[in-house]
Structure 1
């Protein structure tokens, strides 16, 4: 399955302090809006998102249709295809998308250890 770009979405208490911390690890701002309390940071091909007050726990994130530079990739598995594959494998989804639609959509699931996973297609 082609899941696209991979990142970790980190729930932070103070986005400015977290930004400075990760900048010291070599990350730089790639996207987002610190005034809205969310930023996307990048270090080479590694992507993290910092989110203050948006969710309680960290989230593993995949973006079908995007590469690590948020650029469209030609061939990718649509989130609806991924959803059907996971359901056939007996994996319970916490959020599903309408299979009668196309374009942007997302699904969520939780791994056996309680880690939240977001598969978020932007195109």
Structure 2
């Protein structure tokens, strides 16, 4: 009986060590999301905030406020309002403050996405 338990435990450890890294691998999805900055995140999940987002991305040094640090660009996923850092922000240049349809590769461990393709999405119906 003891050998059976040891064999079962060894199998469980081996299975977990093989399968857990596979679960953490990046995977692709298509999202409808708002392009925002990290500091404001979900506050800018509507149109009309593009100038504010661009200022936050640049930081305040250019306007005499060096204490305002530049913020990374993020996607605010519309379905659950979760905030995800974008690891290739140049793909979203010009879409700041807009609703976008993005094909992303998700890295859940880093709470980050790599944008593969993006297009402006139409406004949602009221």
Q: TM-score scaled by structure 1?
A: 0.29
Larger radius of gyration: 2
**Structure (1/2) with the larger strand percentage:** 1
